[in-house]
Chains A and B, each alone.
Chain A
Amino acid sequence: MPAPTLDRQPAGSPDEAALQQQFAATIAADRRIEPRDWMPEGYRKTLVRQVAQHAHSEIIGMQPEGDWLLAAPSLRRKAVLLAKVQDEAGHGLYLYSAAETLGADRADLTDKLIEGRQKYSSIFNYPTPSYADVGVIGWLVDGAAICNQVPLCRSSYGPYARAMIRVCKEESFHQRQGYELLMTMMRGTDEQRAMVQESVDRWWWPSLMMFGPPDDESPNTAQSMAWGIKRHTNDELRQRFVDMTVPQAQFLGVTLPDPDLAWDEESGHWRFGAIDWEEFKRVLGGQGPMNDVRIARRRAARDDNAWVVEAATAHARKHEAVPA
C-alpha cells in the first residue's frame, strides 16, 4: 500500500501543459487512455484513422469468403463459413464503436469508405475463384491478422484494446477452421491437393504484404510506438508470421512459393525473398483485381437496405408515440 498523502492536490483546471504531462505519464506507465481523458489531437486523429480502417477491413473482409456461402460443399462447411463471416461483421461493429468514442460517426465513416477517402486492407482486393481460398484465407490471411492484432490488445487506447481482445479470441477460430479445411483437402484427391497448392501460390505474397512496407519506409512508426498504439514494427511482425507459418506449411504438405525461403541457423529465423512492393502499391492504389467490385457491393448494401433502416426507425417512432 502506498504511503498516505495528506497534502491535497490543489484544485482548479490544469492548463494544457499539465494535461499533456498527465497524458505522457499515463502512457509511460503503460496505463490506458480512456475516451473522456484529454489526449493530443495527433493521437486522436491517428487512432481514428487506424481504428476506422481496421473496421472497414473487417466489413469488406466479409466479401471474398461470402462469395462461397452458397457454394460451400456441405452443411457443416456452410455453417462454419456463415459463423465466420458473421464474426467479421461483429468485429467491424466493435471497431466502429471504438472509433465513435473518439468522436467519429459510423455512418459517416461508411460514407468515407464508399467514397474512397478511407481505405481498407489491400488483401481483400484479391479474388476468391477457388473453394480452397476459404481455407487459405483462414490460415494465411487470418494468421497474419492475428500477428498484427495480438499486440494491439495492449494498445494504449482502452476501447480499442478491449475490442481487440474480443476480436483475437474469435480470430483463433477463424484460423483453425481454415487450417482444418486445408488438412481435409490435402487428405483428399490429387486434384484437391492441387487446388490447395494453387491457392497458396496466389495468397502467400499478398499475405506478407499485409504487414506493410519495410521499416525504413514507415516514418511514422516511431511516433505510433511512442504513443503505444503500435507495439512492433512491420518487419518484426512479418518475420514472426513467416517463422510461425513455415512449419505449418510443412505439416500441411504444401510448398510456399518462394525459392529463397531458407532456415537461418544463426538468427533462428526463416529468411524469405524480396516482396514485390510495386504490386502492393498498385492494389492499394485501386488497381487490384477486385477494388471496384468490393466498393460497389458495399455501396449497394448501404443503398439497397436503406429501407430497412427507415422501417426500423418508423417502427420505433410509432411505439414511442403510443403511451404504454
Chain B
Amino acid sequence: MTDFEFSAPWLLVLLPLALLPWWSRRRDLPRHAWVALLPKDRLSDAIGLGLKLLATIALAATVIGLAGPYRGPTTVTRVGEGAEIAILFDRSRSMDLPFTNNSSIGNRAETSGDSKGRVARELLLRFTAARPFDEFAMFIFSARPMRALDFTSSPEAIRAAITANDVGRGLGETDIGTALEAGVAAFESRPYLGARVILLVSDGGARLDPDVRHRLTDGLQRVRARVYWLYIRSVGSATIRDSAGLELSEAIPEVALHRFLESTGVPYRAFEAEDPKELGRAIEDIDRLEKHTIVTTAVAPRRELAGWWFAIAAGCVGLLALARVRQRESWGTA
C-alpha cells in the first residue's frame, strides 16, 4: 500500500463511532434480578468480547469505506511498438486554404472544399488513433509555438488537442524555427524512453538564422530525435523533391528548410503532399517507419477500495446478526 488515500478524508472524524459497542448495553437480553447472581462464564465473556470486537470492526470498516479509500493513480509500465511523437502543427492562415491541384489553377470552382488544415487534422486523428503505444505532444505554432498538450497516450486528450484547431481562422505569421526549438525542448526534460520523433506539419518552409540553425542542430542531436516534415504543398509553392529535376535553390524557403534539416545529422525525412491522398500515404509511411520498441509508463486510473471495506463490514455485521438470531430471547422459551 504505497499511496493509499481518501477522497473524503474528513469523514474519518466518524471513526470514534466504532467505540459505541463498548459503551452501549444490550437492551434485548433476558432480564435478571441481579447480574452478580449469574455464574461467571468465561466462554460467554469471550463471546461477548468477540461480538463487541466484530461490531467495532464493522463500524470502523464502514466509516473507512465511506471516506472513499483509493490507491493510485499508479503508473504501469507498458512495452509496445511506438514512439514519442511531438507534433508541430502549423496554424498559419494559409493552412485554412483548400488543397488545389495543378490543373485547377485559375479555376476556383474546382478547388476541393476541405482546407489543408482540416485534411491534415483528420489524417492526424487517424494516425494517432491507430498508434496506442505512442506518446503524443501537440504544439501549434504561428508567430510563437504554443503547447496544447504535453506527452500523453490518452486518446481523448490527443483528439481534443487536434480538434481544437477546427475552430477559428489561422494566425498571421509563421516561425518554424521557434516551433522546432519548442519540439526539441519538449524532449529535453524527459528520460529517454525510446524512439523520439518531431513531426512537423506545415505548408511552408523558412530560412532560419544561423543562430537558430546552430541551436537546433545541437538540440536535435542532444535529444536524439528523428524529424519528419509533412510538407503540405500548395499551388505555386516550390517542390522539395529532388526527382523533379529542377534546380533547387536555397533562396526558396521550403528548400532551405529541407536542406537544413538534412544537414542536422539526425534521421530526417520529408514527405511532400499535394493532395489528401498523398498526405494519407505520407502518414502511412511514418506509421510504418516508427515501429520501435518503446517502454512507456501509462497512468492507471486510481482504484477505488471502498468495496473491500464494505465487504469486511458486511461480513462482520452478518455474523452479528446471526449471533442475535441464535441468542435466547428470554429464559422462558428455549
* A, B assembled together: no
Partner-B contacts on A (CB < 8 A): none
